[in-house]
Amino acid sequence: MRRCYSSGPFPESNFEGKLDLGDGMPSGSVEMKRRGNRTKAVLPVRVKGKDSAGKSFDELVHTLDVTPDGVRLGSVRRELNRLDEITVFYRQRKILFRVVWTKKMQGTSEFQVGLQAVTRDNEAWGLNFPDYRRPASQSAATQASGA
């Protein structure tokens, strides 16, 4: 089932399985492709890292949608730099992410932030992702180990 969300940096009219990298991205950015559909999930998470001013932060935010190796966060009250690494805490899990894009929400002091996992945890969100395609290197390693 193909889901398109009309809010945020993912315009419905342009959706072809490609990630729109948001308003803050320089032109000529590398186009990224998602390996599966996003799953809409509003989950409370804690994020830690350094903001664009280099100041450490630790705040509660929430997810808007997730994939096995990425997430879109909402209610982020700090401006973050693209390619910065932040840690997301969900339940007893700790996942390192890299900032892929940020978008200032109009009329608020909040940002939406797109993150890509640096570390990989198959069950990071505790959700089933049946349509997800693993990268070729991970699929080969899984088959070789007999899993």
Q: How confident is the model at residue 126 (pLDDT cuts 50, 70, 90)?
A: confident
For the entire predicted model, the pTM comes to 0.66
Mean pLDDT of the chain: 75
Write out pLDDT tens, residues 18-61. 434 344 334 334 445 555 678 899 999 999 999 999 999 999 99
CB of 32 within 8 A of CB of 100?
yes
- Flag whether pLDDT at 104 surpasses 90: yes
Q: Encoding tokens for residue 75?
A: 């209610």
Name which of 59-63, 66-70, 100-104 the model is least confident about.
66-70
Q: Encoding tokens for residue 45?
A: 């998470």
Q: Residue 85's pLDDT is what? A: 96
